[in-house]
């Protein structure tokens, strides 16, 4: 479901097991590679909060990758220059509270509709995204074709992934999540063991390279 009457041919929501796991890097890399192959792409970050000293925000990085404006990626009134979860940042800045429905309704896609579009959330899967919900709430509204769960490849990631998948699978949506092990180093024994354990014990795809993720998106 999208709220402007358009739906991309393939809608991907990018979530993370926590902050600083590389959601934006993964999304931007996928956008660049898809564009290089002639695919019409778009990126949206419904809301972002950031350190006011940051010269570039997630919206800038996504826009650079998708060929759009940062204000197209994230509406200017949803930029909160304080490093807190977005609804907390809005409160700290004495700005009006907002709902997940508000964020979803503000997503506007270009014409013609993109072949592949990405919506990146903020923080971890259960981090507050709005006054009344988190990334799961947004997924339930958007009903994407793919949910990419970006995770670290190192120590502690199995626990974070299992908890995040439990949260995702509790939602009222139809997309099967795909786990993306970011910063995966094939020479690192722990990284390999983590991937092997997850692959053996989970019934979802566990991918550790951008080409593998691209192939999954194209095949979906």
DSSP calls for 147-181 = EEEEEESSTTHHHHHHHHHHHHHTSS--PPEEEEE
Catalytic annotation, pick one of 23, 45, 200, 218 = 45
Annotated catalytic residue 45: yes
The answer to whether the CB of 51 falls within 8 A of the CB of 191 is: no
Task: Quickly list H helices, 12-95.
Answer: 23-36, 58-66, 70-73, 86-92
For the CA atoms of 49, 58, 138, 132, the dihedral, rounded to the nearest 10 degrees, stands at 0
**Would you call 12 helix, strand, or coil by DSSP?**
strand
DSSP state of 204: S
Distance CA 36, CA 90 (A): 37
Distance CA 136, CA 47 (A): 15
> What amino acid positions are annotated as catalytic residues?
45
């Amino acid at each position: 479901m999208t709220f402007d009457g358009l739906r991309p041919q393939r809608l991907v929501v990018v979530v993370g097991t926590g902050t600083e796991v590389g959601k934006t890097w993964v999304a931007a890399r996928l956008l660049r590679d898809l564009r290089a192959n002639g695919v019409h792409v778009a990126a949206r970050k419904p809301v972002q909060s950031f350190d006011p000293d940051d010269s570039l925000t997630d919206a800038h990085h996504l826009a650079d990758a998708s060929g759009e404006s940062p204000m197209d990626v994230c509406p200017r009134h949803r930029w909160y220059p304080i490093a807190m979860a977005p609804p907390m940042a809005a409160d700290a800045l004495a700005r009006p509270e907002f709902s997940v429905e508000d964020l979803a309704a503000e997503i506007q896609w270009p014409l013609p509709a993109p072949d592949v579009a990405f919506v990146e959330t903020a923080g971890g899967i259960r981090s507050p995204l709005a006054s009344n919900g988190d990334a799961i709430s947004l997924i339930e509204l958007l009903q994407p074709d793919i949910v990419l769960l970006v995770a670290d490849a190192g120590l502690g990631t199995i626990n974070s992934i299992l908890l995040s998948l439990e949260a995702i699978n509790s939602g009222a949506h139809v997309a099967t999540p795909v786990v993306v092990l970011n910063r995966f180093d094939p020479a690192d024994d722990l990284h390999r063991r983590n991937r092997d354990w997850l692959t053996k014990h989970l019934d979802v795809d566990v991918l550790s390279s951008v080409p593998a993720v691209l192939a999954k998106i194209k095949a979906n």
